[in-house]
Amino acid sequence: MLTSNQVSSEELVKIDQEKIWHPFTSLQSAPPIHISHGKGAYLYTHSGEKIIDAVSSWWVNIHGHANPRIAEALTKQANEIAHVIFAGFTHTPAIELIYRLLPLLPGHQKRAFFSDNGSTSVEVALKMALQYWSNTAKNKDHQRKKIIAMDGAYHGDTFGAMSVGARNLFSEPFNDHMFEVSFIPFPDETHFEEVLRQFQQLVAQNDVAAFIFEPLIQGTAGMRTYRAAHLDLLIETAHQASVICIADEVMTGFGRTGSLFACDQLEHAPDIFCLSKGLTGGNMALGLTTANAKIVAAFNSPDALKTLYHGHSYTGNPLACAVALESLKITLEEECIDNRARIEQKHSTFLNHIQLHSKIKDIRLQGTILAMELDTGEASTYFNSIREKIYPYFISKGILLRPLGNVIYILPPYVIKDQDLDDIYQAIEDFLNHEI
């Protein structure tokens, strides 16, 4: 039956509802929207409606849907080699990508390790950091094992990544199976001195292996921003105690926060970076973990047991690497840089216009991300009931905005047009005026 193109969209969605298990979605949720294609910042449904993708399809799509240059890079690579085992073999797209990317990262990154997504890039980073200490410790008693993360953190959904993330209602069924992590409070303006004091006490024990953080802005926690100067102090303190610093730039990388990488806004560079999402412009699944010379040196040994024994079947997939290379070229071009500045400027103008609205509790701007925390009379959590209202409201206006509880945020593809941004701002203002 499915070989015929006579099958209606309704019938296909019905099959989806019976057979497919969607991410972060209750099995009893409303039917999914059936997308037929995309172009630039737009998604088109099978019934012909146009939706502005104001969240870059989970923060990945930086250069717009069906980007012709990326499609061409993908096709060209598919005609050469689509996949090859990456142990003992290599290929030009991987080499060229890493050759161009490493010098762009802060902190003299020396080597890159491929994986499949943001979560796996974090798994690899944690393994690198823990094995660094196992490879360099004089004996087992000297081996550092503790990890520090931030309250509210989100680093992915595999077990290692979950372990360094916030314990919350989502993680509840798995909490007993996660490894122990020391969480410091979120370093916001009001009590940074206290956060720094706690951090200093933790690292003074000389048993902390690594400190992992989302630089400048915590995404899933509600697009919560914090000061570069504060992160700098934490990294400096960590480094003074020889603690390895891991920057999870899965969301923030590739121009999202106003600089190419969020850590470009810091004085102190981390030792390890986690990258994904914008890495391929949202076209192929790919993760990358990079490490500086200090980390790499601990693995550069004739002792086979000092090898990083980690890998995935699709590690270094040539299609994904070719696409990432083209995406990187576009990201570095003037037009894309101008687009990022344009979006930030437009966000800033809207922020000034709307910030005193009575329904806005807090408003935050970080590069191309604008987040508004709404005052709904309920606590600011992911489960704030306004969430149920926001999503369908904006879909009915032809805009994809997927709130984090009572936080509405705009995180658009860089190619979004001014008129589409204006339409999104107007729809948000209408919502604030009439729907809360």
Ligand X SMILES: Cc1ncc(COP(=O)(O)O)c(C=O)c1O
CB of residue 369 vs ligand X: minimum separation in angstroms?
12
From the list 250, 266, 322, 330, which residue makes contact with ligand X (rule: CB under 6 A)? Answer: 250
Least CB distance to ligand X at residue 67 (A)? 19
Binding ligand X (rule: CB under 6 A), the pick from 41, 112, 209, 251 is 251
Residue type, 349: T
CB-nearer residue toward ligand X: 55 or 427: 55
* Burial class of residue 386 in the structure, from the number of CB atoms within 10 Å of its CB (0-12 exposed, 13-18 middle, 19+ buried): buried
Q: Would you call 34 helix, strand, or coil by DSSP?
A: coil
Binding window for ligand X (CB under 6 A); candidates: 28-36, 245-253, 323-331, 339-347: 245-253
Q: Which of 41, 93, 48 is nearest to 62 (CA)?
A: 41
Which of residues 391 and 393 has its CB atom nearest to ligand X in the complex?
391
- The encoded tokens of residue 91 equal 């290929």
- Looking at beta carbons only, is 77 or 117 nearer to ligand X? 117
DSSP letter string, 152-177: T----SSHHHHHTSPPSTTTGGGGGG
Q: Is 330 in the site for ligand X (CB under 6 A)?
A: no
Site for ligand X in 81-120 (CB under 6 A): 117-119
Q: Decide whether 275 or 330 has the Cβ nearer to ligand X.
A: 275
- Segment contacting ligand X (CB under 6 A): 84-92, 232-240, 244-252, 329-337? 244-252
φ/ψ of residue 69, rounded to 5: -70, -40
Identity of the residue, 73 or 162, whose beta carbon is nearer to ligand X in the bound complex: 162
DSSP strands (E only) in 339-431: 360-366, 369-374, 399-400, 407-410
d(CA 289, CA 286): 10
Asked if 344 and 418 touch (Cβ cutoff 8 Å), the reply is no
Render the burial of 89-101: b for 16+ CB within 10 Å, e for the rest.
eebebbeebbeeb
Q: Which of residues 180-219 bind ligand X (CB under 6 A)?
A: 214, 219
Of 275 and 421, CB closest to ligand X: 275
In this chain, which of 122, 365, 386, 390 binds ligand X, going by CB under 6 A? 122
Which listed range, 45-53, 170-178, 246-254, 304-312, lies at the site for ligand X (CB under 6 A)? Answer: 246-254
Tokens of 362: 């807090």
Q: How far is it between the farthest Cα atoms of the chain?
A: 68
Q: Is residue 276 near ligand X by the rule CB under 6 A?
A: yes
Residue with smaller CB distance to ligand X, 97 or 217: 217
* Residue 248 near ligand X by CB under 6 A: yes
Interface of this chain with ligand X, residues 133 to 172, rule: CB under 6 A: 154-156
Shortest distance, position 430 Cβ to ligand X, whole Å: 29
How far apart are the C-alpha atoms of 430 and 435, rounded to whole Å? Answer: 8
Give the residue nearest to ligand X (CB).
118
Residue 247 or 298 having the CB closest to ligand X = 247
Of the two residues 238 and 262, which places its CB atom closer to ligand X in the complex?
262
| DSSP β-bridge partners for residue 290 | 112, 273
User: Please, what is the minimum distance in Å from the beta carbon of residue 18 to ligand X?
Assistant: 26
In sequence order, what are the residues at sequence separation of 6 or more whose Cβ sits closer than 8 angstroms to the Cβ of residue 273?
105, 109, 125, 246, 247, 249, 253, 261, 263, 288, 289, 290
Residues forming contacts to ligand X in the complex (CB under 6 A) are: 117-119, 122, 154-156, 214, 219-220, 248, 250-251, 276
